[in-house]
Amino acid sequence: MPAPRQAPSKVESPARITRGAPGRPALAIAATSARLLAEAARASGFDVIAIDVFGDVDTRAAAQAWMPLGMPGRLAPEEGRLVAALRRCATLPHLVGWIAGSGFESAPALLAAGADVLPLLGNLPRTVAQVRTPGDFFATLTRLGIPAPEISLEPPVASNGWLFKDAHACGGWHIRPAARTPAEPGPGAYFQREEAGGAMSALFLANGASAVIVGFARQIVAPLGRRPYVYRGCVGPVTLPSPQAAEVADAVGALTRHYGLRGLNGIDFLFGTDGIQVLELNPRPTASLALFHDVIAAGLLAAHVDACADGRLPDPGDIPPSANVRGSEVVFAPARGTVTPALADWLAAQPDCHDLPAAGTPFARHDPLCSITCEGKTPAEVETRLSRRCEAILSQLGDAEPR
């Protein structure tokens, strides 16, 4: 897992939000990186208070205020900081509630603590705990007749063909061959038989009883160092054959009813000619939001709030097919260094660069440096463009100071 960048120390007062448009609703967004959700919330007509680890330049630009979520040098959210930030937000007029993004996979108690301060617009903490308990989740898939790779909660006798995973982690950093299981695996540990297929995901909106699929995406998963399955990004929308699309829709509907899922959620699955196999349910808005942020006229975060607060879902006919394919990919640093003013300025000048580090930000080998987006007519064209842009950005790292 990468170490977090050291965000600039300045914390902006959430009182600044009162200078926005009179009566404009506000949302607090808390996540390891809040940039994507903050931009989506702003596009949906909300003022935003961002609470995250990185404090990137464009996160702050999308928000009326920024506050830290974690302790310096750590990725994990910290209860005291989250609760303190939400209490400050609670004094603001027109605040609708808060949305939790990535970073809370192992912390349902922290979600509950935050929900005691402000309305949590998303799944209940106990739902997150159930979904992130491997024995519960995969037993549920079996009971519901949803196909999934074989799992074991104990190390397999023969480790060949098995993977170690951690349900309390995200981004694929935790996935490794079972032969390299950590000495102290942790409570979210499980083992999954490795299967063939394309890594894909579906973003969907749910109201506890039914769900609407927003779109399908192809995941970009590749080795990074000794980690064989690191999530790099996604490309979409992509079209699935009708039988497989129906399988995903059936799985999403069954899981929504079983867990009472609400708002934006994501499901990861393997796609094959014989069908799908579900890998994971993410009970929160996922990174594929970057591909579909404008498919609903009022905005996806507005639809998320409607689904959570009122149970309203868009009509599937109101989600038109996109004329273009989009892609988003994380650029990882090949070596440690520090972002110089020249590099920070160059990144900020690139219209396709996001999650922008400020000058003076240190980074370690394999840390996320920034992310990029692009569009094209086909998934293959988009993946090629993403690859070329990653190379172009990495070529600029000569302007980073070694450390």
Q: Output the pLDDT for position 17.
A: 47
Average pLDDT over the chain, rounded to whole? 91
Which range marks the domain in which residue 48 is found?
A: 14-121
CATH code for the domain of 332:
3.90.1170
Q: What stretches in the chain show pLDDT beneath 70?
A: 1-22, 72-73, 399-403
CA–CA gap between residue 140 and residue 256 (Å, rounded): 12
Q: Which residues contact 141 (CB under 8 A, 6 or more apart)?
A: 147, 148, 278
pTM over 0.85: yes
H/E/C letters for each residue in 188-256? CEEEEECCCCEEEEEEEEEECCCEEEEEEEEEEEEEECCEEEEEEEEEECCCCCHHHHHHHHHHHHHHH
181 contacts: CB under 8 Å, gap ≥ 6 = 155, 159, 164, 189, 191
pLDDT of residue 12: 57
Please report the pLDDT score of residue 18 as a whole number: 46
pLDDT of residue 9: 46
- Final residue of a structural domain among 292, 318, 344: 318
Domain CATH code at residue 258? 3.30.470.20
For residues 40 and 105, membership in a common domain is answered with: yes
- Determine, yes or no, domain membership for 3: no
For residues 350 and 312, state if they share a domain: no
- Residue 179 is predicted with a pLDDT of 87
Q: Is residue 6 part of a domain?
A: no
Integer angstrom CA distances of residue 302 from 96, 203, 248, 293, 366: 11, 15, 24, 11, 35
Q: Which of 290, 318, 346 is the endpoint of a domain?
A: 318
- Total tally of structural domains belonging to the chain: 3
* Amino acid, res. 223: P
Domain end call among 121, 156, 171? 121
The answer to whether residue 201 is domain-embedded is yes
Query: Does one domain contain both 148 and 45?
Result: no
Measuring CA to CA, how many Å separate 142 from each of 60, 137, 201?
A: 44, 9, 20
